[in-house]
Amino acid sequence: MYKFLCIILCFYVSYSFGQTPNNCLAYTSTGTTSSSTTGTGPIGCNSYPGMVPAGQPAIWTGTSCSGQITSTVTGGAVSCLSLTYIAVNTNDYATMSTNTGGALTITAINANVVGNVVGPYNCGSAYGTVVITVCSTVPFTSVTLLNTGCTSGWVINCSDQDACAGGNAGADSSTTILCGGTIDMNTLLTGDTNGTWIETTSPASGQFNSSTGVFDATGLPNGAYTFEYSIMNICGQSTAQFSVNITSPNTLVFSTNDVSCAGQCDGIVT
């Protein structure tokens, strides 16, 4: 068993997930023990390449029935929190709890759930990623996973979510005014680059290049044109909304005033 566990932990790699959780907040985790991670492991179903480099210490419950991982939110209390773990094998079960009690609603990706017990891993391979979302009727600041399977145990894929949170799309913006021509939407970003653009105007203008982020307003009617920028992170993705308002410039109106000189409106001053 220990030899099998060592092989798994030595080839463990972290994964992020494609679920949008109720809360995506920074947290730190501590466990009964730890193990360094090197190399790569299987991705499995509903798993995605992770953002944590190999070699980062992995927080582990150990094999004991009393082994646990506690993840504490950085900031105020939350009503829901999603965390990503690695189930070391299909014998692993975990009992979830919060520090404040309350009625819990627990869901999981890649594992069964009965009440507040998660397990076993059900993705068809020996081990892999399990995303657990814990919601409570009483706001909480920490979630504890207890290794009630009493076998190989659980590993959390990121001991410090701040370190592997990934991209931040930045702030929304609805103040951009355009009188015509083109605008590079990337110049409006306050977050991280290398994300994905889409136009959300209905119907679409047909003049937005989502690959480059350039919007060409030439010939378009006045109005608001909307866009969404997204970038992947440990919580699924971060998004920002943008609105560009096309408006026509004010028409210049010219008028003449005759110059009165000596009672004659001839415009001549002598």
Nearest in space to 197 (alpha carbons), one of 205, 189, 9 = 189
Q: Locate 159 and state its tokens.
A: 């001991």
The DSSP letter of residue 5 is: H
pLDDT digits (tens, 9 = 90+) for 110-145: 888 999 999 888 876 667 778 788 989 999 989 999
pLDDT band at 197 (very low <50, low <70, confident <90, very high): very high
209: tokens are 């290049």
pLDDT tens sequence across 50-81: 334 445 556 778 788 888 988 888 767 888 88
**Cis previous bond, 120, omega within 30:** yes
Instruction: Report the C-alpha gap between 39 and 199 in whole angstroms.
Output: 39
Span 235-245, pLDDT tens digits: 556 788 999 99
The mean predicted confidence, pLDDT, of the chain is 73
Domains of the chain by range and CATH? 2-164 (no CATH), 173-246 (2.60.40)
Closest CA to 81 of 137, 165, 119, 25: 25
